[in-house]
Structure 1
Amino acid sequence: MNFNPAVAGRASILRSLLRYHDVHFIPPQLVARWLIDLARNIFLIFLLSGFLAVSCVEISFARAVTDEIGRRVNVVSAPQRIVSLAPGITETLYALGLDDKIAGVTTFCDWPAAALAKPRIGGFTNPSIEKIIALKPDLILATADGNRKDTVQQLERLGLPVYVTNPLDTRGVLKSILHIGEITHRKKEAQRLVEKLQKRLDAITAQVGKKRKPRVFFQLGLEPVITAGRGTLIHEVI
């Protein structure tokens, strides 16, 4: 049987109290020992309760989600410092009313105009890892078709939560808006925005659906010349 000094001490005090109960007298030294032991145990109980409370809060506010390329990402339920690595994501954040939560954007994020006042973390394909770290983000939003894979992996290795979107068509864009709304605690706002955009898409489709489609060349890069092909959002929109 294991010997526990704390338990033995409390048992000794209890026996002493019972022993002196019949004569209605408790020595002052015994009372002092009992009070010290009681205070110590109360302190430990409060300390443990506080630890459990903090742990529960952390668990309830941290959750694992799957991004649009199948990665598991741990995010807080209501991010307060969001870094956007793509113009489209920045516009989505503003549309969801998250302008005060945006900690940083790329140099290409120029809409809405308020985005120009946000701290810049570099280019679309070559953001500064140092600047991102300095902003202390609790959520980084990237896109699979624009941000480099090694950038996402480097941020991930640093322990930063990076959620990657991957919309391939207009339907995918609407889904990405819903996903961003869900992980940023703006689910209702995202649903309203998607419904509004879907109505606009339906109206455009009704207007141009029967018209002859022109042949379009959409140039994305100069050296080398890059255009949008099948299976891309730009091709689907055109």
Structure 2
Amino acid sequence: MSTALARITGLALLALLSLACQAATPRCAVDALAQRLCLEAPAGRVVSLSPGATELLFSAGAGDAVVAVSAWSDYPPEAARLPQVGDSQRLDLEAIVALAPELVVAWTDGNARTQLDRLAALGVPVFWLAPRDFDDIAGAVEALGHLTGHDALAARRAAAFRAAIDELRVRYREARPVRVFYQVWDQPLMTVNGDELISKAIALCGGRNVFADSPRLVPRVTVESVLAADPEAIVTAGRGDGGWLARWRRFPELTAVARDNLFLMTPSLLQRPTLRVAAGSHELCQRLEQARGRL
């Protein structure tokens, strides 16, 4: 055997040994419930139980491993073509078990613990997500990438997300504060408090959520309380025809109305705590910069 051939053969054997070692090394991650989950090998069959989890799995590079999703999993587009196994109200546990998943990804705010505990009792590995801030999102992508064997890709995408958020943080660090009312829903009228990710995006852009101190994550509010808070900008991603915003024009005394600072965001970019939050935050920052120019 020639020296060159021997070298190539040796490199090939080393590569095979490396892959074998990786496959034999348990892959462990700590989930949102502080539970440590270890898999003997990268999960090749994954069931996602929330739209946010579905999107994060695809971002982590594990899209090809996802065999079923929950209702409303519509991004990326290929996720919408996958079989569905229920929604936040009810899961088809028999269908999930029949799929022989090597990993089930659940969402603490949307999935029932009792149902998922039944899956875990059957030996199905369950990993819980609950991203509350920007770093949680990046960390979720890294964890899912690790559990499914896509560490490098997941790490690159998480790093790009962190860099995009850091860039906005630096750019708007000294920006003039803008009082913001973010409308989540119309009837009943709902917003977010300071612990919700949308509020953290507002703060990232130099805004101040007028209901940040509310004790509830997604509180119901009254028109009178919004009038009393007198926001300088009103933002929503709700009715695509701007109908929600148009209703505020009945109150010309509101600063946001007087300065025409009523903004309709692109749907889905901020509502789901996924990597698209970076694009949503960028759009929000642009809107609040418009508002500053009108104050």
Length-normalised TM-score, structure 2: 0.54
User: Which position in structure 2 is the counterpart of 1:145?
Assistant: 109
Structure 1 residue 233, shift from structure 2 partner: 2.1
User: Which position in structure 2 is the counterpart of 1:212?
Assistant: 177
Structure 1 residue 84, shift from structure 2 partner: 0.7
Question: Larger Rg: 1 or 2?
Answer: 1
Q: How does 1:1-238 map to 2 (within 5 A)?
A: 60=24, 65-209=29-173, 210-219=175-184, 227-238=191-202
Structure 1 residue 220, shift from structure 2 partner: 6.0
Name the amino acid aligned to 1:101: A
2:29 touches 2:143 (CA, 8 Å); kept in 1? no
**Count, aligned residues:** 181
Distance 2:91 2:136 in 1: 25
Taking structure 1 as reference, are residues 167 and 159 closer, same or farther at Cα in structure 2, changes over 3 Å only? Answer: same
- Structure 2: state its 5+ residue gaps: 1-20, 203-295
1:91 touches 1:112 (CA, 8 Å); kept in 2? yes
Identity of aligned residues (%): 26
User: Which position in structure 1 is the counterpart of 2:293?
Assistant: none
Distance 2:130 2:91 in 1: 19
- Structure 1: state its 5+ residue gaps: 1-56
Matched position secondary structure for 2:159: helix
More helix by share: 1
2:56 touches 2:140 (CA, 8 Å); kept in 1? no
Structure 1 residue 218, shift from structure 2 partner: 3.7
Structure 1, residues 80-115: CA drift from partner, whole Å, max 9, x if none? 110011212211222233222111111110011101
Length-normalised TM-score, structure 1: 0.66
Structure 1, residues 142-192: CA drift from partner, whole Å, max 9, x if none? 122222222221211222100112221111111111111111111111110
Distance 1:145 1:118 in 2: 22
User: Which position in structure 2 is the counterpart of 1:25?
Assistant: none
1:221 touches 1:227 (CA, 8 Å); kept in 2? no
Structure 1, residues 38-63: CA drift from partner, whole Å, max 9, x if none? xxxxxxxxxxxxxxxxxxx9x93655
Matched position secondary structure for 1:217: strand
Distance 2:141 2:74 in 1: 19
Structure 1 residue 120, shift from structure 2 partner: 0.5
Matched position secondary structure for 1:123: coil
User: Which position in structure 2 is the counterpart of 1:22?
Assistant: none
User: Which position in structure 1 is the counterpart of 2:238?
Assistant: none
Taking structure 1 as reference, are residues 152 and 218 closer, same or farther at Cα in structure 2, changes over 3 Å only? Answer: farther
Distance 2:55 2:105 in 1: 12
Taking structure 1 as reference, are residues 227 and 77 closer, same or farther at Cα in structure 2, changes over 3 Å only? Answer: farther
Name the amino acid aligned to 1:124: S
Distance 2:186 2:106 in 1: 21
Matched position secondary structure for 1:201: helix
Taking structure 1 as reference, are residues 194 and 63 closer, same or farther at Cα in structure 2, changes over 3 Å only? Answer: closer
CA RMSD of aligned residues (A): 2.7
Distance 2:115 2:146 in 1: 24
